[in-house]
Amino acid sequence: MATSRSRRDFMKTSAAVSSAWWVGASALADDTQPRSANEELQFACIGVAGKGSSDTDDAGRHGQVVALCDVDKRSLKKKSLRYPEAKTYSDFREMLDELEGKVDGVTVSTPDHTHAPAASMALKKGMNVYCQKPLTWSVHEARHLRNLAAETGLCTQMGNQGTAVTRLREGVEVIRSGALGDVTEVHVWTNRPIWPQGKGRPTETPPTPPYLDWDLFLGPAPERPYHPAYHPFKWRGWLDFGTGALGDMACHTANMPVMALNLFDPISFVAESEGLVEGESYPKDCKITFQFPERTGVDGSTLPACKLYWYDGGRKPDADMILGEDAGKKKTLKVSNSGSLTVGSEGRLYSPHDYGGIWELLPLAKFEDYKMPEQSLPRSPGHFTELANAIREGKPDLAMSNFAYGGRLTETILLGNLSLRAGEPVEWDSENLRSTNSSAANDLVAREYRDGWTL
């Protein structure tokens, strides 16, 4: 099989012949090795259960799945039934070492704490990467992957699928057009956690099931005994493995207003909650307030200072704030369990949807005859398709939620957990990734990996 560089050259050539979906055909690459015009993208998939199962199938629809990796033998066996020719692994480090120069892309759909080690290793080996949200477990890892993707020039995509939804992109265009006036508040809420959370560490030490490689599950996280409270799925509420409700959903639900308003690099943030449980588990509910300064919009205009409020565990903004005088005027207009509200001086945009794929301009009477602004964002052929096209074209920007954007979004969102974990308000110097007032927060920006694991 060809090297990763020559494979990328071929894919650029093939795409130039057939043309891309939102750009014109590019110049033919200088590829001296003759190839079939039908050559497929080759994918290796890390984490193949849960969301990893559908991510693997997305890869299979856009190319050939040649390798599968999972720490759970049951998940690996089940996915192998669909991809019987794919080689199987339990350790992604072994897989990436063996496949260097032999695959075009890697999917990473593991628990949060192993996203960055896997994605970083793949990028360093010249492989394009699709990684689930949140892109990383820590703030430092998010900055690292963003920088590494830029240095390598490889194609990347973070798995916040709503970015590809036309209605979300239309919402971004509406907010950027100034229809809401000066936006000074954004409220984002979720019905998460829907997993056990707010508990201390289990005291029992049952035997590790024979189908699970517990050491590989731990990855870079500190040693601890196996317990079914962590695997499968329930890892999200534990600090060592997950990023709580904020990490799970904010990259989805805050995506539209963050993109529209350039809400990156807050100058302060503070969490309100009952605190972590025994330093082990995220609380059952919390509210986090991010303060953003004046900043420049995509059109070069100056955007006013803005606060973003995050709510989880059943907390949400007051219904009167969301619906106002429009309460009861439409059957479909009601306060959802997850959603976002963007508040401007001239109106509000309310989305009762995790991905921003549904929204309404309020007050209804004021926007009854509203005409949509001219389209400024391309429309997507599909979330994973964006990455596949980017790989074939060799143009990372074709994937809108690439690590340049996804890394910055993840970094901003995960800052909220610094205040939650530090237990105090945090003033923030984004350029240097450090707090100017909280040594506790500075200690949480990154963590030391276990021996054998690197970034």
CATH number at residue 449: 3.30.360.10
Taking 50 as the threshold, does the pLDDT of residue 210 lie above it?
Answer: yes
The reply to whether 354 and 250 lie within a common domain is yes
The pLDDT of residue 36: 37
The reply to whether 431 and 398 lie within a common domain is no
The pLDDT of residue 7: 54
135 phi and psi angles, rounded to 5 deg: -55, -35
Q: Domain limits at 179?
A: 166-377+415-455
- Number of separate domains in the chain: 2
| % of the chain with per-residue pLDDT over 90 | 90
The reply to whether 95 and 209 lie within a common domain is no
Q: For the segment 388-415, what is each residue's pLDDT rounded down to a tens digit?
A: 999 999 999 999 999 999 999 999 999 9
**Closest C-alpha to 217, from 341, 72, 339:** 72
Per-residue b or e along 270-306, where b marks 16 or more CB atoms closer than 10 Å to that residue's CB: bbebeebbeebbbbbbbbbbbbbeebeeeeeeebeeb
The reply to whether 312 and 353 lie within a common domain is yes
Taking 60 as the threshold, does the pLDDT of residue 424 lie above it?
Answer: yes
Name, in order, each residue with C-beta under 8 angstroms of 369's C-beta and a sequence gap of 6 or more: none
The reply to whether 121 and 237 lie within a common domain is no
The reply to whether 394 and 438 lie within a common domain is no
User: When comparing pLDDT for 175 and 13, which is higher?
Assistant: 175
The pLDDT of residue 25: 25
The reply to whether 246 and 333 lie within a common domain is yes
Taking 60 as the threshold, does the pLDDT of residue 34 lie above it?
Answer: no
Report the 10 Å Cβ neighbour count for 192.
24
Taking 80 as the threshold, does the pLDDT of residue 80 lie above it?
Answer: yes
CATH number at residue 36: 3.40.50.720
What is the spatial distance between Cα 210 and Cα 193, in angstroms, rounded to a whole number? 29
The reply to whether 396 and 362 lie within a common domain is no
What is the spatial distance between Cα 289 and Cα 427, in angstroms, rounded to a whole number? 12
The pLDDT of residue 20: 31
Taking 50 as the threshold, does the pLDDT of residue 29 lie above it?
Answer: no
The reply to whether 121 and 252 lie within a common domain is no
Look up tokens 């990467």; give the residue.
Answer: 129
The reply to whether 145 and 262 lie within a common domain is no
The reply to whether 347 and 259 lie within a common domain is yes
The reply to whether 45 and 85 lie within a common domain is yes
Q: For the segment 302-352, what is each residue's pLDDT rounded down to a tens digit?
A: 999 999 999 999 999 999 999 999 999 998 899 999 999 999 999 999 999
The chain-wide mean pLDDT, for the chain, equals: 92
**Closest C-alpha to 311, from 390, 379, 353, 250:** 250
pTM of the entire structure? 0.92
Taking 50 as the threshold, does the pLDDT of residue 61 lie above it?
Answer: yes
The pLDDT of residue 9: 54
